[in-house]
Chains A and B, each alone.
Chain A
Amino acid sequence: MLAVQQLEAGYGESVILRNVTLEVKQGEVVCLLGRNGVGKTTLMKSIMGVLKARKGRVTYYGDDLTKRTPGQRAKRGIGYVPQGREIFPQLTVFENLLLGLEASPEKGRVVPESAIAKFPVLPTMYGRRGGDLSGGQQQQLAFARALASQPEVLLLDEPCEGIQPSIVDDIRDVIRSIKSDGKTAILLAEQSLEFVKSVGDYFYILEKGSVAWEGNCESLSDEVIRRYLTV
């Protein structure tokens, strides 16, 4: 459903991604692996449209999205949980959630139950400002905000970065439950191999801005890990 073809992107003079091709199929959890600085976040940003592609295409159900704004992509059904959470600091938790509805097709004014039910801690702090939450709470809020518009593809950029183990487990459960619903595909950039093996279906390993290896998560061998992922 979501496909990236021969994508090239970068910041200013420097080219970060070269000739990246990947595909996310319906209901799958596709993982992006790679050391720091290989272009995982850049790829996420180019798929979302925050960063313009220099070459190549991003397609969604066959439609070319390459020239579309991030807003139009969000309305097509792409949800985004960026690295660093990007919660609106001066808005309350509830307002942050309501903003997640901006992209939902029926312009609903009610945050769907399914988005909040996975994070029971959120309703207890609706009145607090987003910026006052801890990192883990912000991550859960960012997740719920992205789920509010009931996206068909969810881009998760290192959702477990700097999060305590119990919330990592919660996030794992959330990803599994999204997967078992079968409606939403996930593209997950992640450092933890153990996490990837526990939720992922397919993986791509990036190196120097290109796809260096890909395969099913079960086939992720120690040899591949040694070659591309160990420091």
Chain B
Amino acid sequence: MDVIVLQLFNGISVSSILLLIALGLAITFGLMKVINMAHGELIMIGAYSAYVVQNLFTSYMPSSMFNWYFVAAIPVSFIVAFLMGLLLETTLIRFLYGRPLDSLLATWGIGLMLQQLARTIFGAPNVGVTSPSWLNGGVTIMGDVVLPYKRLFIIALVCLCLFAMYVYIYRSHSGRRMRAVMQNREMAACLGISTRRVDAVTFAIGSGIAGIAGCALTLMGPIGPSIGTYYIVDAFMVVVLGGVGKLVGTVFGAFGIGMSNTLFEYWTTASLGKVLVFLCIVAFLQWRPMGLIAMRSRSLD
């Protein structure tokens, strides 16, 4: 029983991390159809922003305040990655809409440049971010199963991001404009929507969420300039498996991969588990190429 609960929790935890790194991509790739290979580097930017905020707190704030640096780091990571995304969109991505191969190559190059930039500023070795003390430890349930606070915190953070994205995309005026532009750019323009601005803001928001993911990843271990490359494949897997263009799909995709990953790893070994998961995804996409949640409507048929 303990083992089942623990595996279940691990599965949810892995899923929540996958979901967090994929949420930003669900916007830039899912909604905007930009194959953004620099997504991993935007995660890296978020992680280093958290590192910088930590160092600023150590240098300039009384040590009693240190524990709160992480609360400040989340919005800072968002804003830094948001601005980076805005810069990227206005200088490069805007010229590459509707050209998937070109944007794949160009964003990959941007990714390499950002990695090198991080190496130049922060050095090649990994740096550690000290987690705030209120995230150390965990809750003990059922006698001896320990659920670490850090993992619970990430699950809560994912829920919060998901909720905020849902409200923004499906309930706000600008979200409505965003969906209109992504569904029918020409008609949206004819109704008086500034498609340029919507594109820029949408891409920047996707990037900002990648920044939050990077900030959360600092809780899981040390960070380095190439941290993004570990996650980029998983992020694309989640979005493609879930079905491009739907937020719910991304959630299901993350949980599908996270849960099966944990289970397969428990039954076999770590590397064999990963192989099995990828095999399952390939088989599934052969069966349903549109992913878990496909958009259907009279006018799209």
Cα distance A149–B195 in the bound complex, in angstroms: 18
Cα distance A132–B189 in the bound complex, in angstroms: 23
Rounded to whole Å, the gap between the CB of A182 and the closest CB of chain B is 24
Instruction: Select one of B179, B189, B191 contacting A100, CB under 8 A.
Output: B191
A185 part of interface (Cβ distance < 8 Å)? no
Residues of chain B from 204 to 224 with CB closer than 8 A to chain A in the complex: none
Per-residue 0/1 for A14-43: is the Cβ within 8 Å of any B Cβ (1 yes, 0 no)? 000000000000000000000000000000
Q: Which residues of B contact A90 (CB under 8 A)?
A: 179, 183, 295, 297
Establish whether residues B298 and A89, one from each chain, have CB atoms under 8 Å apart when the complex forms.
yes
Q: Which residues of B contact A74 (CB under 8 A)?
A: 190-192
Per-residue 0/1 for B41-79: is the Cβ within 8 Å of any A Cβ (1 yes, 0 no)? 000000000000000000000000000000000000000
Q: Which residues of A contact B187 (CB under 8 A)?
A: 82, 86, 88
Residue of A nearest to B197 (CB): A71
B180 part of interface (Cβ distance < 8 Å)? yes
Per-residue 0/1 for B163-203: is the Cβ within 8 Å of any A Cβ (1 yes, 0 no)? 00000000000001101100110111111111100000000
Q: Which residues of B contact A102 (CB under 8 A)?
A: 177, 191-193
A75 part of interface (Cβ distance < 8 Å)? yes
Establish whether residues B180 and A91, one from each chain, have CB atoms under 8 Å apart when the complex forms.
yes
Q: Which residues of B contact A202 (CB under 8 A)?
A: none
Instruction: Select one of A71, A80, A138 contacting B193, CB under 8 A.
Output: A71
Establish whether residues B176 and A99, one from each chain, have CB atoms under 8 Å apart when the complex forms.
yes
Given A87-B299, A89-B300, A131-B300, residue A50 in contact with residue B184 (CB < 8 A): no
Establish whether residues B188 and A99, one from each chain, have CB atoms under 8 Å apart when the complex forms.
yes
Residues of chain A from 44 to 96 with CB closer than 8 A to chain B in the complex: 48-50, 69-71, 74-75, 80, 82, 86-91, 95
Establish whether residues A99 and B193, one from each chain, have CB atoms under 8 Å apart when the complex forms.
yes
Rounded to whole Å, the gap between the CB of B32 and the closest CB of chain A is 15
Residue tally, chain A, CB below 8 Å to B: 30
Q: Which residues of A contact B299 (CB under 8 A)?
A: 87, 89, 130-131, 138
Instruction: Select one of A98, A103, A149 contacting B176, CB under 8 A.
Output: A98
Cα distance A71–B186 in the bound complex, in angstroms: 10
Establish whether residues A70 and B189, one from each chain, have CB atoms under 8 Å apart when the complex forms.
yes
Of the candidates B180, B184, B187, B297, the one having the most CB atoms from chain A within 10 angstroms of its own CB is B187
Residues of chain A from 117 to 164 with CB closer than 8 A to chain B in the complex: 129-133, 138, 145, 149
Establish whether residues A71 and B192, one from each chain, have CB atoms under 8 Å apart when the complex forms.
yes
Rounded to whole Å, the gap between the CB of B291 and the closest CB of chain A is 16
Of the candidates B176, B189, B297, B299, the one having the most CB atoms from chain A within 10 angstroms of its own CB is B299
Instruction: Select one of B179, B189, B297 contacting A131, CB under 8 A.
Output: B297
Cα distance A103–B193 in the bound complex, in angstroms: 7
Cα distance A74–B191 in the bound complex, in angstroms: 6
Cα distance A49–B189 in the bound complex, in angstroms: 9
The 7 closest A-B pairs by CB, nearest first: A103-B192, A131-B297, A74-B192, A86-B187, A89-B299, A131-B299, A102-B192
Using a CB–CB distance below 8 Å, which chain A residues touch chain B?
A: 48-50, 69-71, 74-75, 80, 82, 86-91, 95, 98-100, 102-103, 129-133, 138, 145, 149
Using a CB–CB distance below 8 Å, which chain B residues touch chain A?
A: 176-177, 179-180, 183-184, 186-195, 295, 297-300
A50-B189, A91-B179, A103-B192 given. 11 additional CB < 8 A pairs? A70-B190, A71-B189, A71-B190, A74-B190, A88-B183, A89-B297, A90-B183, A91-B180, A98-B176, A100-B191, A102-B193
